[in-house]
A and B are shown apart, each in its own frame.
Chain A
Amino acid sequence: MKRTLRSPAVWLFLALALVPLAAKLGAEGYLLSLATRALIFAIAALSLDLILGYGALASFGHAAFLGIGSYAVGILAAHGTGEIVLQLAVAMVAAILFAAATSAVSLRTSGVYYIMSTLAFGQMLYFLGVSLSAYGGDDGMSLAGRSRVLGTAFLESDGALYYVVLGVLVAFYAGARRIMGSRFGRVLSGIRENPVRMRAIGFEPFRYQLVACVIAGCMCAVAGVLLANQTGFVSPAYMTWQRSGELMVMVILGGIGTLWGAILGALAFLVLEEVLSGLTEHWKLILGPLLVMVALSGRGGIAGVVARVQRLFHGRGVR
């Protein structure tokens, strides 16, 4: 119990659970919608951290999976299927197939070439979205309403959607922690540390990296399903390479390879975007130097700062 209470993630989730209550004190609709959006990106960033932080695979096409998830909602809804269970199933199957097919190619390259190939695959999907004129093409399409949950209109409530998103985030976080502590997780991080050593004890990195990419893609597609529900809109803009870059920024800002850092990073990024863009339209001029500072201060990010503060108080590190 004591260990659980020391985990910063637990405090973070408790605080997030109180957000809808706090939102009642202010502009409720606006705050809740911002918080929901932030949590959805936290799910996407968390999934990217699995491969970026633990696999050292700098995918520049991760936003493609946001697109896969949201188009699964949009296309199925356009054909009268508003059931989220079905939409999730389609989104996840599509994500698995896309991740497996593209990673099977990308993972044969490394370094800059890996980044370029993931970017290229992401852009392919973006242009596919643009060309889908039946589904809004370049302009995207508005959804008539949110997905139905086993036939009910449960998600139409903003509060319900928020808690569903938070529930998914907590479940994915716990699942990701579990995976990283498993046999598979140890192999994946070992490959990041020293691929030659891992090969020399009998592991073929490709197979483990491929499975990690599939898991991460699948998780991000779920975020895409939720994103379409939150915005009520589906558009190729979800899949641009700039969006993939933003996901990377969130992970690095929050602290790479810590899982909960990715969540913090996503929250910080969306709040900064909201606050700074209120001040000036050139808000990225402020965000830029911030990121440079994080990059210069090492791998830690926000999570690293929190860990250092905790060590100060407890005299011991928290993993």
Chain B
Amino acid sequence: MSAALLSIEDLHKSYGSLRVTDGVSLAVRAGELHALIGPNGAGKTTLIHQLSGVLPSDSGRVVFDGIDVTAFSLPERVRIGLARSFQITSILPAYSVLENVALAVQARSGSSFRFWLPVADERALNEEAEQRLAEVGLLRRMQDRAGALSHGEKRLLEIAIAIATAPKLLLLDEPLAGLGQEESRATIALLKQLKSRFTIVLVEHDMDAVFALADRVSVLVNGRVLASGTAADIRSHPAVRVAYLGDEEVV
């Protein structure tokens, strides 16, 4: 088995007396798609915030690619290859679709303390951004204002921005949220392609998608890891079925 790209060691986060993350330890192996499931309020998004550096942790460690990143800020983590998408779409609405992605390319290619040359003419940035847009199927919308995209297109743009940062690991927070059936199918197909190129941690409520995509699944309940294993293990895990899948046969 390949080594862990991301290891989480006894991570804690509390708001007052509420333990949102309560001693989570997980290892995400290089190359796998690791799904994180759990009922609403289980602490999935909080954990993603802690892993990406949006929220500081109370205790515990996050080690990414051999580096202890627990004290790293969000931008610092992104620069060493830990990218994320947001559950609630976060883009630059007034910028064009292309500019949204080109900025992510710019962030890791040379200094941005350049004050004179027009950035819109930098072909290297634009070409790479176009490639990323082509990969998610948004190339034809590249000149449009990002704010004018449909919800489904914005979700795809969010993914294009994340992969434009050239990550080693993608933290995807509910990429299917709010999508229609058709869009959902297309996005699942896209994720299947992406999983061969990136290690992915996927938070998702759509169980069909999770079991179709995941190599391994961890179940989070009340801030704790209830179970962690292959998709098949989790599907048949009795405690998981009771706590989360709500399988009637068990009752």
Contact = CB atoms under 8 A, between A and B. Distances in A.
A197 B92 contact: yes
Contacts of A181: 118-120
Which A-B residue pairs are the 3 nearest by beta carbons? Answer: A202-B107, A202-B78, A201-B104
Interface in A172-198: 178-179, 181-187, 190, 193-194, 196-198
Q: Is the interface of A mostly helix, strand, loop or mixed?
A: helix
Interface stretch (A82-90, A112-120, A203-211, A261-269): A203-211
Interface stretch (B83-91, B182-190, B238-246): B83-91
A199 B92 contact: no
Interface size class of B (residues with CB under 8 A): 35 or more
Contacts of A202: 75, 78-79, 104, 107-108, 165
Interface residues of A, number: 23
B84 to A, nearest CB: 6
B107 A203 contact: yes
A193 to B, nearest CB: 4
Contact of B52 (A184, A198, A200, A211): A200
Contacts of A182: 114-119
Interface of B: 52, 54, 73-75, 78-79, 83-84, 86, 90-95, 99, 103-104, 106-108, 111-120, 122, 161, 164-165
A193 B93 contact: yes
A200 B86 contact: yes
B112 A184 contact: yes
Interface of A: 178-179, 181-187, 190, 193-194, 196-204, 208, 211
A264 B119 CA distance: 27
A187 B78 contact: no
A184 B165 CA distance: 18
B90 A196 contact: yes
B86 A193 contact: no
